[in-house]
Amino acid sequence: MMQFEELLNQKIELLPPSRVREAMRYSLLAGGKRLRPMMLYATVEGFNLSKEEADDFACALEMIHTYSLIHDDLPAMDNDDLRRGKPTCHKQFDEATAILAGDGLLTYAFEIASNSKVNQLDQCIHYLANYAGAGGMILGQCLDIEERQDLTWEDLKRIHYYKTGCLFAAPLAIGALIANQNEDLVKEFDAIGKDLGLAFQIQDDLLDIHASMEELGKSTSDARNGKITSVSILSDEKANIEMNRLYNDCMTRLQQIEGFDAKYLISIVKEVITRKK
Ligand code: GRG
């Protein structure tokens, strides 16, 4: 993924020099797992297209994801000091700059996406906006900060589908669109992506309990803060079972898609299953 890091840096270099540009670069290049871009690349490769076709949307996805982390860490939200093993954006710069860096990454993502030459560009941009917006990830965050204490598993699943699932569904659905697939197949990729996001979030809740702050590279512990999580609702054991069931089910469904070579995506899922952060 060295090439992808370089690509992100090149995109940032195209902006006029400023404090906000440096804050955007700082958070973007702070060493995330790059899962969402990797999932997009694996989807287009599974349809036998070259990875480069997806470069613009891969950058856009990582920028939107990074913006969400910067804003999520702000004092008005989670008020975190550590992210990706480094001081959060508002700690390294200041609060106003961190707000602008998030806004800058979000808007820049759409500028880059709109310059792309992919198939079904309008649809790709529409999906991206929908997944990121108030009918997608932002809705999930809004439901999450309500912190209701009477949440059922169904309620929590809904929050995770929006908050985490949408940005996992985006690379899969957009990958299928770039590969010129039809609406039904795009919907199947979307559904698999949402389930992968849910599994990933359950795994996050499990790691939150079992891994140290150093291992995770972030400081907030939902469990310590008394937040309702999949583990507090389901129990450790059942959360584990549900996570594995979801991951396995997603891999099976991917293998059943005709004309799609699932091996690239499956190898990412297998790596994610064994992740420690
Ligand atoms: C503030 C608009 C707004 C949205 C925030 C994504 C999000 C919504 C909040 C971040 C906190 C959180 C735990 C979100 C769930 C999704 C998730 C597990 C994000 C972390 O993704 P990774 O593990 O992060 O892929 P890296 O750093 O590896 O890129």
- pLDDT tens per residue, range 218-271: 776 677 678 899 999 999 999 999 999 999 999 999 999 999 999 999 999 999
d(CA 258, CA 250): 15
Name the residue of 163, 201, 221 to mutate for ligand 1: max ligand atoms within 8 A of Cβ. Answer: 163
Distance from the alpha carbon of residue 68 to the mean position of ligand 1, in angstroms? 7
- Give the atom of ligand 1 at the shortest distance from the alpha carbon of 71: 1
Q: Which residues does a 6 A CB cutoff place in the pocket of ligand 1? A: 32-33, 35, 65, 68-69, 71-72, 77, 84, 137-138, 141, 163-164, 201, 204
Atom 10, ligand 1: residue with shortest CA distance: 69
Atom 15, ligand 1: residue with shortest CA distance: 164
- pLDDT tens per residue, range 115-157: 999 999 999 999 999 999 999 999 999 999 997 888 999 999 9
- pLDDT tens per residue, range 28-72: 999 999 999 999 999 999 999 999 999 999 999 999 999 999 999
- pLDDT tens per residue, range 148-187: 888 999 999 999 999 999 999 999 999 999 999 999 999 9
Task: Give residue 212's pLDDT band: very low, low, confident or very high (50, 70, 90).
Answer: confident
Distance from the alpha carbon of residue 70 to the mean position of ligand 1, in angstroms? 9
The pLDDT, as a whole number, for residue 47 is 98
Asked if the model's pLDDT at residue 214 lies above 80, the reply is no
CA dihedral 105, 110, 116, 121 (to 10 degrees): 150
Alpha helices in the chain (DSSP H): 2-13, 19-28, 35-46, 55-73, 89-92, 95-114, 121-132, 137-145, 153-160, 166-178, 183-210, 213-216, 230-234, 236-255, 263-273
The pLDDT, as a whole number, for residue 1 is 66
Atom 27, ligand 1: residue with shortest CA distance: 32
- Give the atom of ligand 1 at the shortest distance from the alpha carbon of 277: 23
